[in-house]
Amino acid sequence: MFILGFESSCDETSAAVVEEVGGRLFVRSNIVASQIPVHRLYGGVVPEIASRAHVEVISRITGEALSGAGIALSDVGLIAVTDHPGLIGALLVAVNFAKGLASANGIPLVGVDHIRGHIAASYLAGEGPVPEPPFLALALSGGHTSIYRVHGYTEWETVGSTRDDAIGEAFDKIGRLIGLEYPAGAAFDKLAAEGFREATGTDAPSLARYEASPAGRDPTMKLPSPALPGDTLDFSFSGLKTAAINLLHHLEQTGGELPRALFAARYTALSVGAVTKKIGMALDRYPGLPVVAAGGVAANSHLRRELTALAARRGVGLFIPPLPLCGDNAAMIAAQGYHEYLAGNLRDSSLNASASDD
Ligand code: KG4
Ligand code: ZN
């Protein structure tokens, strides 16, 4: 079966074709029209501009997704669209487009939770190993920082989450203050790599090695951990963000020079360290479960390295999508859409978009 997926929850418009063959999912096309250059002028996403830009490209990229997969609309057996959470005006564009296509052509329709979509990106490994529930999932994006216990393809339980800011939005905010363009994640990652190298004399060192180095222990760059203390699997990124802003202001006011790379390394070490710590605690609670990491921040090279080491130490499987499937894309929505379809969660033209998580 061919599944046509749509995604327009934030600043990427995407249409993709995923083919299911004997229960395995293969990406046949995945067109992503990014609006980032437009929003970059404003230092963040402008919702009105996002909605308009989605409207302008959705029809064209749908054609590209179908022709890229070498199929016609009449070959499509299922349409899947992100219906929540996200920017409401942005979500509505793909939801309405998908509803129109589905009802005009008699194609079954499902709505997909964006975060479940991110996690389903791991099902798109083609012939490679793919995770099967139950597993632990880590959703790290611009708007989410959560740990889920995934019982089945459509059954989940949130076991940890941020109580305030998300890891990605905090990277973007602090990145902007140190002169990195929106969205700062990828440039932050590179700058931190320079800092880790400077601190340890090694490329890609472990966090433990960095933390033992003089720069890793430098008290003038002390920042709080976003891992909340105690037994909880929750995070708080606003404390780290505020302390980092204060540190930057203090340096500015006292005329001190900011060691940008070392600062990026320290900030990254705290963010990545907190996520690794909490997923380690989740594995203590639910031993033996494989781990799936997903979302834009799962592209972070330092996080990927630490999670890989943790999974090897604990002897559990780890699944992280390749970089193009970490950020927002419609192939991941089609993948989760397939499982919503199997679970019987078909929708009709009453499907509506919702900004919130549920
Ligand atoms: O999942 P995503 O594409 O969109 C949302 O659903 O929010 O995530 C976007 C976030 C942005 O905050 C971006 O800066 C961050 O992912 N990001 C990264 C990296 N690449 C993207 N953060 C850290 N390191 C990266 N390499
Ligand atoms: Zn996303």
Examine the domain organization and report whether 178 and 309 are in the same domain: yes
Examine the domain organization and report whether 65 and 115 are in the same domain: yes
**What b/e readout covers 120-154, taking b as 16+ CB neighbours within 10 angstroms?**
bbbbbbeeeebbebebbbbbbbbbbbbbbbbeebb
Assigned domain for 348 exists = no
Cα 328 to ligand 1 centre (Å):
9
Give the pLDDT confidence score for residue 271 in this predicted structure: 98
Of 184-193, 248-257, 328-337, give the lowest mean pLDDT range.
248-257
Check whether 101 has a pLDDT greater than 90.
yes
- Residue with CA nearest ligand 1 atom 16: 296
Asked if 33 and 171 count as a contact pair (C-beta separation under 8 A), the reply is no
Ligand 1 lining (C-beta closer than 6 Å): 10, 118, 141-143, 168-169, 171-172, 183-186, 188-189, 295-297, 299-300, 327-328
Helix, strand, coil percent content, the chain, rounded in steps of 5: 50, 20, 30
Assigned domain for 234 exists = yes
Q: Provide the domain count of the chain.
A: 2
pLDDT in tens, 211-237: 999 999 999 999 999 999 999 999 999
Examine the domain organization and report whether 88 and 115 are in the same domain: yes
Residue whose tokens read 């002169």: 179
In this structure, what token pair is assigned to residue 79? 């349409």
Give the ligand whose atoms come closest to the C-alpha of residue 264.
1
User: Measuring CA to CA, which residue among 186, 212, 180, 185 is closest to residue 199?
Assistant: 212
Sheet with 155-161, side-by-side order of all strands: 155-161, 145-152, 135-140, 291-294, 318-319
Examine the domain organization and report whether 41 and 80 are in the same domain: yes
Give the pLDDT confidence score for residue 121 in this predicted structure: 98
Check whether 358 has a pLDDT greater than 90.
no
Residue 12 Cα to chain centre, angstroms? 13
Examine the domain organization and report whether 52 and 33 are in the same domain: yes
d(Cα 217, Cα 350) in Å, to the nearest integer? Answer: 57
Assigned domain for 352 exists = no
Q: Is 86 exposed, middle or buried (0-12, 13-18, 19+ CB in 10 A)?
A: buried
Give the pLDDT confidence score for residue 256 in this predicted structure: 87
Helix axes 237-253, 260-285, angle to 10 degrees: 170
| Residue 107 CB partners (closer than 8 Å, separation 6+) | 4, 73, 76, 77, 78, 79, 101
Give the pLDDT confidence score for residue 43 in this predicted structure: 87
pLDDT in tens, 155-165: 999 999 999 99
Give the ligand whose atoms come closest to the C-alpha of residue 185.
1
Give the pLDDT confidence score for residue 77 in this predicted structure: 98
Assigned domain for 94 exists = yes
Give the ligand whose atoms come closest to the C-alpha of residue 32.
1
- Residue with CA nearest ligand 1 atom 23: 185
Assigned domain for 248 exists = yes
Average pLDDT over residues 20-35: 97
- What are phi and psi for residue 293, nearest 5 degrees? -110, 140
Return the bridge partners of 200, or none. none
Examine the domain organization and report whether 22 and 68 are in the same domain: yes
Asked if 161 and 234 count as a contact pair (C-beta separation under 8 A), the reply is yes
Assigned domain for 90 exists = yes
Return the bridge partners of 160, or none. 147
Check whether 188 has a pLDDT greater than 90.
yes
Give the pLDDT confidence score for residue 195 in this predicted structure: 98
Q: Which of the 8 DSSP states describes residue 202?
A: S
- Residue with CA nearest ligand 1 atom 12: 168
Examine the domain organization and report whether 155 and 120 are in the same domain: no
Examine the domain organization and report whether 159 and 118 are in the same domain: no
Query: What CATH number is given to the structural domain containing 26?
Result: 3.30.420.40
In this structure, what token pair is assigned to residue 301? 């090279």
Examine the domain organization and report whether 34 and 165 are in the same domain: no
In this structure, what token pair is assigned to residue 230? 């105690």
Assigned domain for 330 exists = yes
Cα 35 to ligand 1 centre (Å):
14
| Residue 101 CB partners (closer than 8 Å, separation 6+) | 4, 62, 73, 79, 107
pLDDT in tens, 268-313: 999 999 999 999 999 999 999 999 999 999 999 999 999 999 999 9
Give the pLDDT confidence score for residue 349 in this predicted structure: 93
Cα 143 to ligand 2 centre (Å):
8
Examine the domain organization and report whether 84 and 232 are in the same domain: no
Examine the domain organization and report whether 177 and 299 are in the same domain: yes
Examine the domain organization and report whether 6 and 37 are in the same domain: yes
d(Cα 110, Cα 224) in Å, to the nearest integer? Answer: 42
Assigned domain for 353 exists = no
pLDDT in tens, 123-147: 998 889 999 999 999 999 999 999 9
User: Among 10, 30, 297, which residue has the most ligand 1 atoms within 8 Å of its CB, making it the best to mutate?
Assistant: 297
Question: Does the predicted TM-score (pTM) go above 0.95?
Answer: yes
Q: Percent of the chain having pLDDT more than 90?
A: 97
- Full residue range of the structural domain in which residue 139 is found: 135-320
